[in-house]
Amino acid sequence: MIIISNSKDTKNVLVEKNKIPQHLAIIMDGNGRWAKKKGLPRSAGHSEGAKAVKKVITSCLKYNIPALTLFAFSIENWKRPKNEINYLLKIFERVLNKEKANLIKNNIKINFIGRLNELPNSLNEKMNELSESTRKNNKLILNIAINYGGRAEITDALKSITLKILDKKLNVEEINEDTIGNNLYIRDLPDPDLLIRTAGEMRISNFMIWQIAYTEFWVTSTLWPDFDENSLIEAIRNFQKRVRKYGGKV
């Protein structure tokens, strides 16, 4: 079930602690529209979007959400104008530098998922350094999907499985859903309970297409730079009303 929310004024009330999503995924959309609406360059929307990321991470810590996956840059985003792509990658690298101390202080483990080898070397170095610096943290697992695509993830998983078969480390008869899951970018985490998409778009845009088979969706018209703690609370409160049947009867 997909529900569209137009509310921007949700009261900051406590959510039910025993029904908190264990893995929250977010498609962050609307930076460009936010900027256009205010007569600003698209770069301004991306800068404000980075601030919204920090707010959501803070809220996840506050409400004890153990895992958060953010869709930061898709494989398809390379089709955008070169100057916008360069700005996005630069702001991403700048944020990593700026937030490193906070991530460590707040006990956040950060993973980067996607075809990372296709990104600039300087950015890859920063990502590797940050992943290594936070690998023992366990308050919040933060996955950043960059140069990511759901079909690419499954394709890469199949390549990995094929190599294991050729190396006689795996038999074809042993392949099952767990085999595929264990060869995806994200491992050892439950599938997302809740997927939030901002800016009112009704599509998944090639995001985690294997993992969201039974994920609950929440679509809001709020543009990503305007997404805040109240927006998150609204999504979680609606999620807590859902009856999750996983194809069975309750």
pLDDT mean by block of 10 residues, the chain; 250 residues: 45 68 98 96 95 97 97 96 94 93 96 97 95 96 98 98 96 95 93 97 97 97 98 96 75
- Whether 206 is catalytic is no
pLDDT computed for residue 244 by the predictor: 81
What's the topology of domain 2-7+20-148+183-239? Undecaprenyl pyrophosphate synthetase (3.40.1180)
Q: What count of other Cβ atoms lies within 10 Å of the Cβ of residue 50?
A: 21
Helix (H, G, I), strand (E, B) or coil at 27: strand
Active site residue 226: no
Per-residue pLDDT at 6: 47
The pLDDT of residue 52 is: 97
Contact 73, 148 (CB under 8 A): yes
What pLDDT is attached to residue 13?
Answer: 53
Which one of 12, 18, 77, 124 is the catalytic residue? 77
d(CA 22, CA 4): 22
Q: Which of 6, 18, 29, 238 is catalytic?
A: 29
